[in-house]
Amino acid sequence: VNIERYKSFLKDIDPDIVATQEMNGWTQKTLEELAGSYGHPYALQSKEAGYPVALTSKTPLVDFKKVTENMLHSYIYAKIRGIHIFVVHLSPATYKKRLEEAENVLAQAKEISAREPILVMGDFNAQDASDSSYYGEEVYRMLKSREEKYPHIRNLNQDRLDYSVMNKFREAGFKDAYKLMKNEFTGSMPTSKDGEGNINPNHPGVTRRIDYIWCNTTAAKYLTRCVILKNELTRVISDHYPVYAEFTLPVKRR
């Protein structure tokens, strides 16, 4: 039932590309079949075990890479219609591991000419300093309690909320697409995943924004819209809300 909801949602917004995380239980073959059902003949999944990321498209994926080394989960790189795209799912366990993973992604992005559009998108499992005024004691207590319950989780930095991971992208010249379009805070998780108002126990009901689309300066010039889509379908399809962006690309002359 939920997959049918997902197909209906995608057919309604008709995106050119779709980036997803936590494709648990899916294979490259079944992903291709799913993507074909909503009009995307091109699909790529990073791996088949653990927590894969995936990228599907109406047009071919060029020079793609699937990276699992030095990543708790993985990331995908591909070029689509001249846009360099990274689909990431950074570690949920520690901010130090996320920093390492962010540096890996940014090191590859740095090899690309700054004159070309670059997007880094996905679940970063990290807060951004631009939202700090919305994160009060409730968020701190939730993160602190998880550290006390699970010794392998260390997401507070010197007993404070960590913003260092997202700062890495800002320092590298990337811009937060949502904040380029919106000033108000909107959380990207959690949702009512089962449709009955029950929240995934791994994401207690404290609203945070940890899903982003980061643009380099060139890509930001073409950005025309970015929203976190909240409706009856997105409240139950996933435990995170989708981040949706539109870019108006220049027509290339022959």
Task: Tell me the per-residue pLDDT of 40-54, one tens digit each, with 9 for 90 and over.
Answer: 999 999 999 999 999
Q: Is the pLDDT of residue 29 over 50?
A: yes
Whether residue 254 is predicted with pLDDT greater than 60 in this model: the reply is no
Cα–Cα distance for residue pair 2/246, rounded to 1 Å? 25
Q: How far apart (Å, rounded) are the C-alpha atoms in residues 51 and 206?
A: 23
Give the pLDDT score at 204: 54
Q: How far apart are CA 246 and CA 219, in angstroms?
A: 11
**Mean of per-residue pLDDT scores for the chain:** 94
Residue 251 — pLDDT band, cuts 50, 70, 90? low
Residue type, 81: R
For 172-202, the pLDDT digits (tens) are 999 999 999 999 999 999 998 754 545 445 5
> What pLDDT shows up at residue 197?
46
What is the rounded average pLDDT of the residues 216-236? 96
Give me the phi and psi of 52, to 5 degrees please. Answer: -75, 155
Instruction: Output DSSP code: residue 212.
Output: E
Residue 220 in contact with residue 247, Cβ under 8 Å?
no
Backbone angles phi, psi at 155, to 5 degrees: -105, -10
Total count of residues recorded for the chain: 254
